[in-house]
Amino acid sequence: MKKQDEWTIADITPQMGKYAVVTGASGGLGFEISLQLAKAGAEVVLAARDQFKGEEAIKRILQEVPGAKLHFEKLDLASLSSVKDFTDRLIEYGKQISVLINNAGVSYAERQVTSDGFEADLGINHLGHFALTGRLLPLLKGGARVVVVTSGANRRGKINFDDLQSEKKFTSIGTYAQSKLANLMFAIELQRRSAEYGYGLQVIAAHPGYARTELVKNSSEKIALLARLAITILSWLGQSAAEGAWPALFAATSPKALAGGYYGPGGFAHLSGPVTEATIPDNAQDTQVSHKLWQVSEELTKVKWPISSI
Protein backbone atom coordinates (compact mmCIF):
# COMPACT_ATOMS: atom_id res chain seq x y z
CA MET A 1 0.00 0.00 0.00
CA LYS A 2 1.25 3.48 -0.88
CA LYS A 3 2.28 5.59 2.09
CA GLN A 4 0.80 9.07 2.27
CA ASP A 5 4.00 10.87 1.27
CA GLU A 6 5.29 8.22 -1.15
CA TRP A 7 5.62 9.40 -4.77
CA THR A 8 4.41 7.18 -7.61
CA ILE A 9 3.77 7.74 -11.31
CA ALA A 10 0.16 8.52 -10.37
CA ASP A 11 1.57 11.76 -8.95
CA ILE A 12 3.09 12.95 -12.25
CA THR A 13 1.79 16.44 -12.83
CA PRO A 14 0.10 17.25 -16.16
CA GLN A 15 2.75 17.80 -18.84
CA MET A 16 0.59 19.33 -21.56
CA GLY A 17 2.56 21.97 -23.43
CA LYS A 18 5.88 20.48 -22.32
CA TYR A 19 8.49 19.43 -24.89
CA ALA A 20 10.72 16.62 -23.66
CA VAL A 21 13.81 14.98 -25.14
CA VAL A 22 14.78 11.51 -23.87
CA THR A 23 17.99 9.74 -24.87
CA GLY A 24 18.14 5.97 -25.07
CA ALA A 25 14.39 6.03 -25.57
CA SER A 26 13.94 2.91 -27.72
CA GLY A 27 13.96 0.51 -24.77
CA GLY A 28 14.53 0.01 -21.07
CA LEU A 29 14.32 3.03 -18.79
CA GLY A 30 14.18 5.48 -21.68
CA PHE A 31 11.11 3.83 -23.15
CA GLU A 32 9.34 3.79 -19.79
CA ILE A 33 10.20 7.44 -19.19
CA SER A 34 8.91 8.40 -22.64
CA LEU A 35 5.72 6.41 -22.13
CA GLN A 36 4.85 8.10 -18.85
CA LEU A 37 5.65 11.58 -20.16
CA ALA A 38 3.40 10.90 -23.15
CA LYS A 39 0.62 9.69 -20.84
CA ALA A 40 0.94 12.96 -18.94
CA GLY A 41 0.50 14.94 -22.16
CA ALA A 42 4.05 15.94 -23.07
CA GLU A 43 5.35 16.08 -26.62
CA VAL A 44 8.29 13.67 -26.57
CA VAL A 45 11.34 13.31 -28.80
CA LEU A 46 12.58 9.73 -28.58
CA ALA A 47 16.31 9.90 -29.29
CA ALA A 48 18.09 6.63 -30.02
CA ARG A 49 20.67 5.06 -32.29
CA ASP A 50 18.48 2.39 -33.90
CA GLN A 51 15.75 3.86 -36.09
CA PHE A 52 13.77 0.62 -36.35
CA LYS A 53 13.69 0.17 -32.56
CA GLY A 54 12.83 3.84 -32.11
CA GLU A 55 9.90 3.66 -34.49
CA GLU A 56 8.72 0.43 -32.85
CA ALA A 57 8.86 2.20 -29.47
CA ILE A 58 6.63 4.94 -30.84
CA LYS A 59 4.13 2.35 -32.09
CA ARG A 60 4.05 0.73 -28.65
CA ILE A 61 3.44 4.05 -26.92
CA LEU A 62 0.69 4.97 -29.38
CA GLN A 63 -1.07 1.72 -28.55
CA GLU A 64 -1.32 2.91 -24.95
CA VAL A 65 -1.61 6.63 -25.64
CA PRO A 66 -3.48 7.18 -28.91
CA GLY A 67 -2.82 10.64 -30.28
CA ALA A 68 0.38 11.14 -28.31
CA LYS A 69 2.79 13.68 -29.82
CA LEU A 70 5.92 11.63 -30.48
CA HIS A 71 8.95 12.05 -32.71
CA PHE A 72 11.88 9.75 -33.33
CA GLU A 73 15.25 11.38 -33.92
CA LYS A 74 18.38 9.37 -34.64
CA LEU A 75 21.13 9.96 -32.09
CA ASP A 76 24.31 7.95 -31.69
CA LEU A 77 26.10 9.16 -28.58
CA ALA A 78 29.18 7.21 -29.67
CA SER A 79 29.64 9.77 -32.46
CA LEU A 80 30.14 13.48 -31.86
CA SER A 81 29.17 14.02 -35.50
CA SER A 82 25.82 12.34 -34.82
CA VAL A 83 25.36 14.47 -31.70
CA LYS A 84 25.96 17.62 -33.76
CA ASP A 85 23.57 16.51 -36.49
CA PHE A 86 20.88 15.76 -33.89
CA THR A 87 21.24 19.08 -32.10
CA ASP A 88 21.36 21.00 -35.39
CA ARG A 89 18.00 19.46 -36.34
CA LEU A 90 16.40 20.40 -33.03
CA ILE A 91 17.81 23.92 -33.13
CA GLU A 92 16.50 24.34 -36.68
CA TYR A 93 13.08 23.15 -35.45
CA GLY A 94 13.41 25.88 -32.84
CA LYS A 95 11.14 24.64 -30.06
CA GLN A 96 12.27 25.37 -26.52
CA ILE A 97 12.95 22.19 -24.55
CA SER A 98 11.15 21.84 -21.22
CA VAL A 99 12.89 18.65 -20.10
CA LEU A 100 16.06 16.93 -21.31
CA ILE A 101 16.59 13.47 -19.85
CA ASN A 102 20.13 12.20 -20.38
CA ASN A 103 19.27 8.56 -19.87
CA ALA A 104 21.16 6.48 -22.44
CA GLY A 105 23.90 4.31 -21.03
CA VAL A 106 26.06 1.28 -21.76
CA SER A 107 28.37 -1.03 -19.87
CA TYR A 108 30.80 -2.98 -21.99
CA ALA A 109 32.34 -6.15 -20.62
CA GLU A 110 35.40 -5.67 -22.85
CA ARG A 111 37.03 -2.40 -23.89
CA GLN A 112 35.44 -0.75 -26.90
CA VAL A 113 36.01 2.65 -28.50
CA THR A 114 33.66 5.17 -30.04
CA SER A 115 34.02 6.56 -33.55
CA ASP A 116 35.95 9.46 -31.98
CA GLY A 117 38.39 7.12 -30.24
CA PHE A 118 36.98 7.45 -26.72
CA GLU A 119 36.58 4.47 -24.42
CA ALA A 120 32.94 3.60 -25.01
CA ASP A 121 31.51 3.73 -21.47
CA LEU A 122 32.98 7.18 -20.90
CA GLY A 123 32.33 8.31 -24.46
CA ILE A 124 28.65 7.36 -24.54
CA ASN A 125 27.59 7.74 -20.93
CA HIS A 126 29.40 11.01 -20.20
CA LEU A 127 31.10 12.73 -23.14
CA GLY A 128 28.22 12.22 -25.57
CA HIS A 129 25.74 13.69 -23.10
CA PHE A 130 28.13 16.51 -22.18
CA ALA A 131 28.32 17.52 -25.84
CA LEU A 132 24.59 17.02 -26.38
CA THR A 133 23.57 19.20 -23.46
CA GLY A 134 26.05 21.92 -24.36
CA ARG A 135 24.90 22.08 -27.96
CA LEU A 136 21.24 22.18 -26.88
CA LEU A 137 21.83 25.02 -24.41
CA PRO A 138 20.12 27.64 -26.63
CA LEU A 139 16.92 25.57 -26.39
CA LEU A 140 17.32 24.83 -22.67
CA LYS A 141 18.21 28.18 -21.14
CA GLY A 142 15.62 29.95 -19.07
CA GLY A 143 13.96 27.22 -17.06
CA ALA A 144 14.44 23.75 -18.56
CA ARG A 145 15.02 20.74 -16.37
CA VAL A 146 18.05 18.64 -17.21
CA VAL A 147 17.87 15.17 -15.68
CA VAL A 148 21.12 13.21 -15.62
CA VAL A 149 20.66 9.49 -15.06
CA THR A 150 23.60 7.99 -13.22
CA SER A 151 24.01 4.75 -11.24
CA GLY A 152 24.65 3.75 -7.66
CA ALA A 153 27.91 2.34 -9.05
CA ASN A 154 29.18 5.93 -9.07
CA ARG A 155 30.24 5.65 -5.42
CA ARG A 156 32.81 3.05 -6.47
CA GLY A 157 34.14 5.24 -9.26
CA LYS A 158 37.27 7.34 -9.57
CA ILE A 159 38.08 9.85 -12.31
CA ASN A 160 41.52 8.66 -13.38
CA PHE A 161 42.96 11.49 -15.46
CA ASP A 162 46.17 9.49 -15.97
CA ASP A 163 44.17 6.79 -17.77
CA LEU A 164 40.82 8.37 -18.51
CA GLN A 165 40.27 6.18 -21.58
CA SER A 166 41.15 2.95 -19.71
CA GLU A 167 43.97 2.18 -22.15
CA LYS A 168 46.37 0.98 -19.45
CA LYS A 169 43.81 -0.87 -17.38
CA PHE A 170 40.24 -1.81 -18.22
CA THR A 171 37.79 -3.49 -15.88
CA SER A 172 34.12 -3.49 -16.76
CA ILE A 173 33.08 -2.52 -13.23
CA GLY A 174 35.72 0.17 -12.70
CA THR A 175 35.34 1.75 -16.12
CA TYR A 176 31.55 1.82 -15.87
CA ALA A 177 31.74 3.28 -12.35
CA GLN A 178 34.06 6.04 -13.60
CA SER A 179 31.58 6.96 -16.34
CA LYS A 180 28.64 7.08 -13.92
CA LEU A 181 30.64 9.16 -11.44
CA ALA A 182 31.33 11.52 -14.34
CA ASN A 183 27.55 11.73 -14.90
CA LEU A 184 26.90 12.78 -11.32
CA MET A 185 29.79 15.25 -11.26
CA PHE A 186 28.55 16.73 -14.53
CA ALA A 187 25.09 17.27 -13.02
CA ILE A 188 26.50 18.95 -9.92
CA GLU A 189 28.90 21.16 -11.87
CA LEU A 190 26.29 22.09 -14.48
CA GLN A 191 23.92 23.27 -11.75
CA ARG A 192 26.71 25.35 -10.21
CA ARG A 193 27.60 26.91 -13.57
CA SER A 194 23.94 27.52 -14.36
CA ALA A 195 23.62 29.57 -11.19
CA GLU A 196 26.89 31.42 -11.82
CA TYR A 197 26.44 32.16 -15.51
CA GLY A 198 22.69 32.53 -15.72
CA TYR A 199 21.80 29.46 -17.79
CA GLY A 200 18.51 29.21 -15.89
CA LEU A 201 18.56 25.42 -15.70
CA GLN A 202 17.27 23.05 -13.04
CA VAL A 203 19.76 20.18 -13.10
CA ILE A 204 18.76 17.05 -11.20
CA ALA A 205 20.48 13.68 -10.98
CA ALA A 206 18.73 10.34 -10.55
CA HIS A 207 19.65 6.68 -10.38
CA PRO A 208 17.36 3.68 -10.98
CA GLY A 209 18.76 1.33 -8.35
CA TYR A 210 18.92 -2.08 -9.96
CA ALA A 211 16.49 -2.22 -12.87
CA ARG A 212 16.18 -5.16 -15.22
CA THR A 213 17.39 -3.67 -18.52
CA GLU A 214 19.72 -4.77 -21.32
CA LEU A 215 22.77 -2.85 -20.16
CA VAL A 216 25.78 -5.10 -20.58
CA LYS A 217 26.98 -5.21 -24.21
CA ASN A 218 29.35 -7.46 -26.16
CA SER A 219 30.18 -9.83 -23.32
CA SER A 220 32.61 -12.67 -23.77
CA GLU A 221 31.13 -16.08 -22.91
CA LYS A 222 32.89 -16.20 -19.54
CA ILE A 223 31.87 -12.70 -18.56
CA ALA A 224 28.37 -13.23 -19.86
CA LEU A 225 28.00 -16.29 -17.60
CA LEU A 226 29.16 -14.31 -14.57
CA ALA A 227 26.89 -11.44 -15.55
CA ARG A 228 23.90 -13.77 -15.85
CA LEU A 229 24.63 -15.17 -12.40
CA ALA A 230 24.87 -11.67 -10.91
CA ILE A 231 21.72 -10.57 -12.72
CA THR A 232 19.82 -13.60 -11.39
CA ILE A 233 20.79 -12.69 -7.84
CA LEU A 234 20.14 -8.97 -8.26
CA SER A 235 16.80 -9.62 -9.92
CA TRP A 236 15.49 -10.92 -6.62
CA LEU A 237 16.43 -7.59 -5.03
CA GLY A 238 15.84 -5.22 -7.93
CA GLN A 239 12.85 -3.98 -9.86
CA SER A 240 11.42 -3.70 -13.34
CA ALA A 241 12.51 -1.12 -15.89
CA ALA A 242 9.16 0.61 -15.38
CA GLU A 243 9.85 0.99 -11.66
CA GLY A 244 13.49 1.89 -12.31
CA ALA A 245 12.26 4.87 -14.34
CA TRP A 246 10.50 6.41 -11.36
CA PRO A 247 13.44 8.42 -9.94
CA ALA A 248 14.10 10.04 -13.34
CA LEU A 249 10.39 10.75 -13.78
CA PHE A 250 10.24 12.29 -10.32
CA ALA A 251 13.24 14.45 -11.20
CA ALA A 252 11.67 15.44 -14.52
CA THR A 253 8.19 16.30 -13.30
CA SER A 254 7.79 16.75 -9.56
CA PRO A 255 7.61 20.21 -8.00
CA LYS A 256 9.38 18.61 -5.02
CA ALA A 257 12.47 17.71 -7.08
CA LEU A 258 15.07 20.34 -6.24
CA ALA A 259 17.68 21.82 -8.55
CA GLY A 260 21.00 20.24 -7.63
CA GLY A 261 19.17 17.29 -6.06
CA TYR A 262 19.86 13.59 -6.42
CA TYR A 263 17.14 10.94 -6.22
CA GLY A 264 16.89 7.16 -6.27
CA PRO A 265 15.10 4.18 -4.71
CA GLY A 266 14.90 4.12 -0.93
CA GLY A 267 14.54 0.38 -0.35
CA PHE A 268 17.09 -2.28 0.59
CA ALA A 269 20.60 -1.22 -0.48
CA HIS A 270 18.90 1.44 -2.64
CA LEU A 271 18.32 -1.21 -5.31
CA SER A 272 14.55 -0.77 -5.39
CA GLY A 273 11.73 0.89 -3.52
CA PRO A 274 10.02 4.27 -3.36
CA VAL A 275 11.74 7.38 -4.66
CA THR A 276 13.75 9.23 -2.05
CA GLU A 277 16.57 11.74 -1.87
CA ALA A 278 19.85 9.94 -2.47
CA THR A 279 23.12 10.69 -0.72
CA ILE A 280 25.76 12.27 -2.93
CA PRO A 281 28.93 10.24 -2.32
CA ASP A 282 32.09 11.99 -1.18
CA ASN A 283 33.93 11.18 -4.42
CA ALA A 284 31.38 13.24 -6.38
CA GLN A 285 31.93 16.32 -4.22
CA ASP A 286 35.59 16.99 -5.06
CA THR A 287 35.34 20.38 -6.75
CA GLN A 288 38.90 20.30 -8.10
CA VAL A 289 38.23 17.01 -9.88
CA SER A 290 34.87 18.29 -11.07
CA HIS A 291 36.38 21.44 -12.56
CA LYS A 292 39.15 19.48 -14.27
CA LEU A 293 36.67 16.93 -15.63
CA TRP A 294 34.66 19.79 -17.14
CA GLN A 295 37.75 21.28 -18.75
CA VAL A 296 38.89 17.92 -20.14
CA SER A 297 35.37 17.18 -21.41
CA GLU A 298 35.31 20.49 -23.28
CA GLU A 299 38.69 19.74 -24.82
CA LEU A 300 37.73 16.21 -25.89
CA THR A 301 34.30 17.10 -27.30
CA LYS A 302 35.28 20.56 -28.58
CA VAL A 303 32.05 21.89 -27.08
CA LYS A 304 32.73 25.11 -25.18
CA TRP A 305 30.11 26.30 -22.72
CA PRO A 306 29.58 30.06 -22.28
CA ILE A 307 31.21 31.52 -19.17
CA SER A 308 29.33 34.79 -19.08
CA SER A 309 25.68 35.47 -18.43
CA ILE A 310 23.42 34.38 -21.27
Q: Just list the catalytic residues.
A: 176
Question: Strands (DSSP E) along 67-141, which ranges?
Answer: 70-74, 99-102, 107-108
DSSP-assigned letters across all residues of 164-191: TT-SS---HHHHHHHHHHHHHHHHHHHH
SS3 (DSSP) at 256:
coil
- For residue 251, which of 137, 63, 140, 101 has the smallest C-alpha distance? 101
Strands 275-277 and 262-265: antiparallel
- For residue 58, which of 82, 79, 37, 76 has the smallest C-alpha distance? 37
The side-by-side arrangement of strands in the sheet containing 70-74 is 70-74, 43-48, 19-23, 99-102, 145-149, 202-206, 262-265, 275-277
Residue pair 207/238 in contact by the 8 Å Cβ criterion: no
